[in-house]
Structures are given as C-alpha cells and as structure tokens.
C-alpha cells in the first residue's frame, strides 16, 4: 500500500539540481538521489535502450491502428468481445491493459499512446520492450511538475509508477522501513540499493514488502528529528569533554 503522505513529505524536501532525469531530496541532513538506476533496482523492470523498429511491421489487429487511439475502457470492451480462441490477441490486450494501468498511469479517461498499441500486438516486442524506461520518464516528469507547481495544494496526482518511489524511500531510510513495513523473513533481497550491479533479477524485491499500520508519518518524523537532536547533543558533549 502506498503512503501519499510519506511521498509528499520527501517531495517537500526536494533539491534543485541541473540533471533533468534525476530527483534529489534531503533527509536527516543527507542528500538522496532517485534515478533510473534506483527505479530499476526497486521494480526489476527493463530500463535499457530500445533498438527495435516496430513501426515497419504490419498491424495484426484492428485495435492497433495507429490512427485510432483507445482508452482503458475501450481496451477492456475489445478484450471481452475478442474470440476466446484468439489466445495471442487476448494475451496482448490483457498485458497492455496491465502495463498501462499499473506502470504508465495517466489521467482518468486519457487515451493510450498509439505507438504502445502497435507495440502490444507483437508478442516479441511486448516482452522485450523497456516499459520500465517509459514508466520512469513519466514518473520523473510528473514529480518535477508537482514539485514546482503543486506541493502547496491539498491534492495532486503523480503519474507513472509512484509506488517505486515509495519503496525506494523505505529502502533508503532504515527507520522508515522498520516503522512502516517489513520484508519477507524467508526471502530477503540479495542486493542493496548501494550496490553498483543492476544486471540482476529484482522483480521479486517488489513483491516482498508488507505494510505495517502501527505508525503515523507525523509521529515518526517527530521521533526522527528528536533522534537527530540527541545525536548532535551527544556529539557536542564529546567535543567539550575532549577540550576539557
């Protein structure tokens, strides 16, 4: 379950940086970077460059006509009307709906990009296309827009896959991780976000999180600031004793 308050608290601590494809925040006096690397490590989605050229391939299905974009509801209606014997077409439609509704979330009623309809009709393209990169770019664009214009509003929307940002926050701040969630005891992640190797199977990392409901954002942030103050006080006392 995603915590909108937690994400908002961190976005309100955003830092202005020159890199357009990264988000920087500060927490506990430490800068934190969220880039496509961290997005990949949290989600396991493919985020590499795409060298295919699906535009040169012929359309297999009518719904993939690039001149006729569809909404999510349109695709659901088409899926329900598709012949059960057409397994490949039904699979392509179902996967496209899941990808668009989970990883590429946009405004309600928004029409899907025509190029994604074209990609989904070819199973090899559907399976190998770096959907993670599109999801990350959509998320970053939405976050930066909200940080600049909407943080003072009572409500705003983050497009793309904001759950990845939420889980990255939990993994990056141990106190938040232990207070709000837990990982499977049987299967913990084999790597951590500080490691450099990103060529690993990580989709299961996303599925190991469990939500805990015994803590609140305001109480936790207050406790954390008290902890930081105690650390500073202890450090000051140590410095004073050394001088004496």
So where are the chain's domains? Answer: 4-46+133-239, 54-129
Residue 210, C-beta contacts closer than 8 angstroms, at least 6 positions apart: 181, 182, 183, 184
Rg (CA), the chain: 22
Per-residue pLDDT, averaged over 61-88, amounts to 84
Please tell me the total number of residues recorded for the chain in this structure.
244
Torsion of CA 177, 39, 106, 150, to 10 degrees: 60
Q: How confident is the model at residue 16 (pLDDT cuts 50, 70, 90)?
A: confident
- Over 70: is that where the pLDDT of 201 sits? no
Highest mean pLDDT among 32-41, 166-175, 234-243: 32-41
Give the tens place of pLDDT for each residue, 211-238: 555 554 445 445 545 545 555 545 544 4
Q: Which residue has the higher pLDDT, 14 or 29?
A: 14
Could you tell me the CA-to-CA distances from 81 to 109, 151, 216 in Å, in that order?
Answer: 20, 43, 46
User: Contact at 8 Å (CB) between 16 and 176?
Assistant: no
Strand 209-211 vs strand 181-183: parallel, antiparallel, or unpaired? antiparallel
What are the two backbone dihedrals, phi and then psi, of residue 19, each rounded to the nearest 5 degrees?
-75, 120
Buried b (16+ CB within 10 A) or exposed e, 173-185: beebbebbbeeee
**Cβ burial, residue 43 (10 Å; 0-12/13-18/19+):** buried
* Of residues 102, 77, 87, the one with CA closest to residue 160: 102
Average pLDDT over residues 2-15: 82
Structure tokens at 132: 């993670």
Query: 92-138 pLDDT, tens per residue?
Result: 999 999 999 889 988 777 888 888 888 888 888 888 899 999 999 99
pLDDT at residue 36 is higher than 70: yes
Is the pTM value of this prediction over 0.85? no
């Amino acid at each position: 379950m995603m915590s909108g308050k937690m994400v908002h608290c961190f976005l309100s601590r955003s830092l202005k940086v020159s890199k357009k494809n990264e988000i920087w925040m500060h927490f506990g006096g430490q800068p934190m970077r969220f880039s496509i690397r961290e997005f990949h490590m949290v989600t396991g989605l493919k985020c590499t460059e795409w060298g295919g050229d699906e535009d040169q391939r012929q359309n297999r299905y009518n719904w993939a006509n690039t001149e006729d974009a569809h909404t999510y509801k349109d695709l659901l209606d088409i899926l329900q009307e598709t012949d059960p014997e057409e397994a490949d077409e039904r699979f392509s439609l179902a996967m496209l709906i899941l990808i668009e509704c989970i990883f590429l979330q946009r405004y309600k009623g928004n029409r899907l990009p025509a190029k994604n309809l074209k990609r989904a009709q070819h199973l090899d393209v559907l399976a190998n296309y770096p959907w993670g990169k599109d999801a990350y770019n959509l998320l970053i664009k939405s976050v930066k827009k909200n940080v600049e214009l909407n943080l003072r509003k009572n409500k705003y929307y983050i497009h793309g896959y904001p759950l990845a940002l939420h889980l990255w926050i939990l993994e990056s701040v141990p106190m938040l991780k232990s207070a709000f969630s837990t990982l499977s005891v049987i299967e913990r992640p084999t790597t951590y976000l500080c490691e450099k190797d990103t060529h690993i199977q990580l989709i299961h990392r996303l599925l190991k999180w469990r939500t805990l409901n015994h803590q609140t954002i305001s109480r936790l942030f207050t406790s954390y600031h008290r902890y930081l103050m105690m650390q500073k006080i202890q450090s000051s006392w140590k410095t004073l004793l050394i001088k004496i």
